Amino acid sequence: MSTTVHVNALRWFAEQDGGAEFVRSHGDPLDDDAMARAQASAYPDAIQVVTTLREAGVGAECWFTLSAPDTARGLLDPGSDTVSLGGLALSVGGDREHISAHVAVTGLTCTDPDDEAIARAATALARAFGPQVVWDDGLADVMLVDSDMPIENVRARWRTH
């Protein structure tokens, strides 16, 4: 059975009716300060997301291409020194297969990711772009990852297998 895990900016949840309540309902404290930081954070563009993931040692089978091939060559090719997000789609407005390098990205959708890859991705994205929310399709767990959350805490909590 395939596992799908999402990593979305908390800002995305804050902009949705009932989004903050959804995150709070799964037990993580979500205070006004975190919401204010999330709403003040700009969405990163596709190149920023790919670069952040690559620097965190995360690889993936990208289910998209970027319009700026010279800046995205190899994208996130899995290597011996990376952990895999599995199949990766970026959450963007418009075409999800052929993405402009500078389009805003609200989140990731990962199919059959390694737990370590999710921990690295969520932590790196939170540090670079503000609070992130990790959740699976079954809603078995929803986790808020803030910029100061140690990766060990994410590793200890997020287990898909």
Q: Return per-residue pLDDT of the chain as tens, 161 residues.
A: 789 999 999 999 999 888 888 888 887 888 888 888 888 989 999 999 999 999 999 999 999 888 865 555 567 877 777 899 999 999 998 788 888 889 999 999 999 999 999 999 999 999 999 999 999 988 878 899 999 999 999 999 887 54
What is the per-residue burial (b if ≥16 Cβ within 10 Å, else e) of 54-68? bebebbbbbebebee
Distance CA 4, CA 91 (A): 14
Q: The pTM is what?
A: 0.91
**pLDDT at residue number 94:** 78
* 125 Ramachandran zone, left/alpha/beta (phi>0; psi -120 to 50): alpha
DSSP secondary structure letters along 107-143: EEEEES--HHHHHHHHHHHHHHHS-EEEEETT-S-EE
Integer angstrom CA distances of residue 107 from 8, 70, 81: 4, 23, 24
CB proximity list for 131: less than 8 A, separation 6 or greater: 9, 10, 11, 34, 37, 38, 41, 144, 145, 146, 147
**pLDDT at residue number 161:** 43
Every domain of the chain and the residues it spans: 4-157
Largest Cα separation within the chain, whole Å, is 43
Distance CA 28, CA 83 (A): 26
CA angle 101, 12, 67 (to 5 degrees): 10
**pLDDT at residue number 79:** 73
